[in-house]
Amino acid sequence: MKISLCQINLENGNLKYNFQKIKNYFEKEQPYSDIVAFPELSLTGYLLKDLVKNHDFLDEVLKFKAKVVEFTKEKKCALLFGCPILKNDKIFNSVIIAYDGEEIFSVDKHILPNYEVFNEPRNFSESEKESRVFEFKGEKIGILICEDAWHDHIPNVLAKKGATLFIIVNASPYDLGKHKNRMEIANNIAKKYNKPVAYLNTFGGYDELVFDGGSFIVDKDGYFINEPYFWKEGVIRLNTSNNTPCSNIKPISEEENIYQALVLSVRDYFKKNNFTKAVIGLSGGIDSASVASICADALGPGNLKCVILPSKFNSEESMKYALELIKNIGCEKLTIPIDNIFNNFTNALKTSFNSKNLKEITVQNLQARIRAVLLMGISNEENSLLLATSNKSESAVGYTTIYGDMCGGFAPIKDIYKTQVYKLAKWRNKNVPTGSLCSKLNIIPSFIIEREPSAELNHNQKDSDQLPPYDILDKILYDLIELDLPQKKVSEKNNVDLDLVKSVANMIKNSEYKRSQAPVGPKISTKGFNYDRIYPVSY
């Protein structure tokens, strides 16, 4: 049997777009295949949330489902696709198989995940029928819908019913280490039941989730027949009568995976929200430089404007290397000094408070907010989207200005620790990511990577004046956030004073209100704020 696994980039709720993409891929693949397969909820997109409960939307789903079934008429190939189905006032996450203009098979998802980013029980009901195999052209195919493959009893039932092949259709988002887990699941099923397994995943950026694809096929002995298909749309073809194991699978570094995820998230967020141009406030620091490089790769230099907003507190080096970065990228630049505006703001406040001096925090935050107001003004004038530049380390401890550098419509590095930002910058200087629209090396000047980090909101200011060095801070943050370790254990593990750990934990707690107002951005880690780690603002 010949099967085409179509790893495609969908649009949530855009039935017309998704229908056309499924049709195009089917028509291209059907001459070569017995089955053309598409990912979980491929007709609608996976990340529907409460849209899937909208009755008008469900009516449209039925119409487009019928259209998908219809275009298989007089074709010698079956089409496997996913969509929500309303039955007896319950909504099911279903897979449909159409052949020659008829719906010949369907299966509903059994196990609905309710952890981390998933909350399927909110909108879907579990399958009310026992698993069954799909018999077609001499094969008995066991179809597993994502989470069903992670629970032994579902593939076991299918194996007992004579499954000769397993197809796992997925919408499995990327995070660090996720693909290793997927491969282990498929490998275990193949070896346990001595049957080949085809793993088909979704691809693309969907709001805060990024889907890396990574579709693959393993033979009955658990050997890979193809190299996993990462970070691009495309088709993997399986021929059950000719399975030669892949001799060399190239490993992908953590930095490459993360950078690819960030580029994809920016590109798709812009495309799917009808934006084409981005604006970024460039400071001469590593965060804004990294966001600029990611944006150039995602959208192309011609769709990026970098704005320098200097004050008396900015060093000459910061401005020099910000301009060098802009030159390296080849994007549009604009310079707007803020000293006069800053003086007007401070004088107005001093008058209001009958004071000669303002608090240091007031003075610093005013600068960040003045910059944000100007950047948002540019955004309005040019119909561009402002990208926020705060990283995870800063947002974790509150070392970021609400309505200042947190301001924007999308925050590409919000789930990236500061030490990771440096690693990504070094990786990007030596590599061009897949699908980049800015195929240059050494984009970020070495000075920006090597300099001591500073917000430059005061003379000779350094981040280390208020925070531990980032290589220490990030280890503490990782253990408190990602691993959820007790403070005492974090202290012992990292050989740091317990009072320091308590101080960091307290900063995390006191910054919940800021993070709750942050713009959306891609989830990369295993514990993204507001998705995997959901805390009250007041506690």
User: What is the set of active-site residues?
Assistant: 40, 109, 146
Tokens of residue 79, six digits: 């089409």
For residue 359, CA distances in Å to 158, 372, 512 come to 68, 20, 23
Residue 452 Cα distances to 286, 412, 446, 460, 469, angstroms: 10, 22, 12, 11, 10
- The helix or strand, by DSSP H or E, that contains position 95, with its residue range, turns out to be strand 90-99
- The sign one gets for the Cα dihedral 252, 258, 263, 266 is positive
Taking the C-alpha atoms of residue 105 and residue 251, their distance in angstroms, rounded to an integer, is: 38
* CB contact set of 251 (below 8 Å; sequence gap of 6+): none
Q: Are 331 and 269 in contact (CB under 8 A)?
A: no
Binding residues: 115, 172, 178, 281-288, 365, 389, 394, 514
Binding site for L-glutamine, by residue number, is 115, 172, 178
Beta strands 35-37 and 78-87 are: parallel
Q: Which residues are annotated as a binding site for deamido-NAD(+)?
A: 365, 394, 514
Instruction: Using CB atoms within 10 Å of the CB of residue 201, give its burial: 0 to 12 exposed, 13 to 18 middle, 19+ buried.
Output: buried
User: Bridge-partner residues for 83, per DSSP?
Assistant: 94
b/e per residue 89-127 (b: at least 16 CB within 10 A) = eebbbbbbbbbeeeebbbbbbbbbeeeeeeebeebbbeb
